[in-house]
Amino acid sequence: MLRRCSGWPWLRARMTIFGFVTIGALMSAGAATGATVESIRIGLPDSAVTRVVVDLSAPATYKTFVLRDPSRLVVDVSAELGELGSVPATGAVQRIRVGLREGRVTRLVFDTADAFQLDRHFTLPPGDGRPDRIVFDLKGGLAVPRARNAPFTVIIDAGHGGKDPGALRGSLQEKHLTLGAAKELREILRKRKYRVVLTRETDVYIPLRRRVDISVQAKGDLFISLHADAVGRPHTRGLSAYTLSDKASDRLAAKLASDADAVDAALDVANFETYDEQVQNTMIELTRTGTRNLSAQFAESLVVSLGERGIRLLRRPHRQANFAVLRGFHIPSVLIEMGFVSNAKDAKLLASAKYRRQLMTAIADYVDRYFKTRGF
């Protein structure tokens, strides 16, 4: 059951795997016991400060440090991880991630919109019906208001690349199809005054988590990943749009997500060596439900719009799966399978520059409609 404590909403969140590098100065306070992290609360005691409160079952030691680019507050608490409830982003905090480290340590990561100052942090003993607490006051970190008439930023991710060719059919390679389509979409959106960032601009291999990093640092308003996969059934054809879900909507969605992650894991040896601590300290991301809902709404309306424009769609064109490249976003994000190179008709269309232009124009038209209908 969800409950409120002194006006602070509790959070319940869905969890997916996430990893990151840890660096910085460490500070500690408190006394360690067999404690459990019971809940996290966020509020605004005044307009300049965002307060984060971690409720504990007993006193616990903690260490904290700040990371930049992007800005994050990281807290390691010598306590087990209990069940958490869910809270909307408040003040400087845009997203919360939590995971377990060795030695029964819970790691909490608070992502902020901009650089912040950790003004103070302290512990509070139980009293007046309240548990042991750790309190953090953050100054700054708030999103800069969008300037009037400022362009929206669209992140376009061309799937695969370099040593990862993606799906193949004769001389057709998915990595070339997606890059060509991404550049086409960029050209169209730029002419419509959007700011556009590509996760790759040449035939290079970029690990999935690096694509997410690029997108987060670019501070986009929308993320679109382009693909053109192959499946075992040659008659399967048509465009489809996928959004993030812990559970795949069907076997095809599950297979596409699993294949993409398996290829990345096999090829990403150098990245594993560079980010060794990321591998050792696996994280669990509390993805905001609201973002997933926005992504699903975008995908659902997108495929309807494309169908009305005469684009051939896969049966049940909006599907869900746990794609790694869609994890970690606080903005609407969608993976578009433009078609299947395993199907002769789809492959012929995707190889056509004229068709790709038609498809990217239809997608750009819906992007326009998306921002307008949301009142931007």
- Residue 149 is classified by DSSP as T
Cβ count near 118 (within 10 Å):
16
Domain ends where: 140, 162, 187?
140
Cβ-contact 51, 98 below 8 angstroms: no
Per-residue pLDDT tens digits for 97-153? 888 887 789 999 898 888 899 999 999 999 888 899 999 999 998 877 777 678 999
Average pLDDT rounded to a whole number, residues 345-364 = 97
CA distances from 319 to 14, 110, 249, 251, 288 (A): 18, 30, 6, 10, 19
Report yes or no on 6 lying in a domain: no
Written as six digits, the tokens of 142 are: 């708030």
Q: Can you point out the beta strands (E) in the chain?
A: 14-18, 28-29, 36-46, 49-56, 62-67, 72-77, 80-81, 93-101, 105-112, 116-124, 132-140, 153-158, 168-169, 172-173, 195-198, 222-227, 239-244, 283-287, 313-321, 333-337
Tell me the CATH number at 37.
2.60.40.3500
Q: Do 52 and 158 sit in the same domain of this protein? A: no
351, amino acid identity: A
Q: What is the mean pLDDT of the chain?
A: 79
d(CA 365, CA 372): 11
- Same domain, yes or no, for 171 and 98? no
Statement to judge: residues 221 and 361 lie in one domain:
yes
The larger pLDDT score, comparing residue 232 to residue 278, is at 232
Pair (114, 77) in one structural domain:
yes
> Which of 111, 140, 169 lies at the terminal end of a domain, its last residue?
140
Asked whether 216 and 70 are in contact (CB, 8 A), the reply is yes
Domains contained in the chain, number:
2
Q: Is the same domain home to 222 and 368? A: yes
More confident of the two residues 188 and 71 = 188
Same domain assignment for residues 196 and 49: no
Looking at the structure, do residues 107 and 223 belong to the same domain, yes or no? no
Q: 241: domain CATH number?
A: 3.40.630.40
Full domain range(s) for residue 306? 153-275+288-373
- Shared domain for 133 and 167, answered yes or no, is no
Q: Whole-angstrom Cα distance, residue 109 to residue 198? A: 27
- Same-domain status, 124 and 192: no
Identify whether 2 is part of a domain. Answer: no
Residues present in the chain in total:
376
Copy the structure tokens of residue 191. Answer: 């002419």
Which of 84, 108, 140 lies at the terminal end of a domain, its last residue? Answer: 140
Burial of 104 (0-12, 13-18, 19+ CB in 10 A): middle
- Alpha-carbon distance 50 to 110, whole Å? 11
- pLDDT tens column, 254-299: 666 566 555 554 554 333 333 223 323 323 333 344 467 778 889 9
Q: What are the DSSP calls for 173-199, one per residue?
A: EHHHHHHHHHHHHHHHHHHTT-EEEES
Mean pLDDT for the stretch of residues 320-337: 78
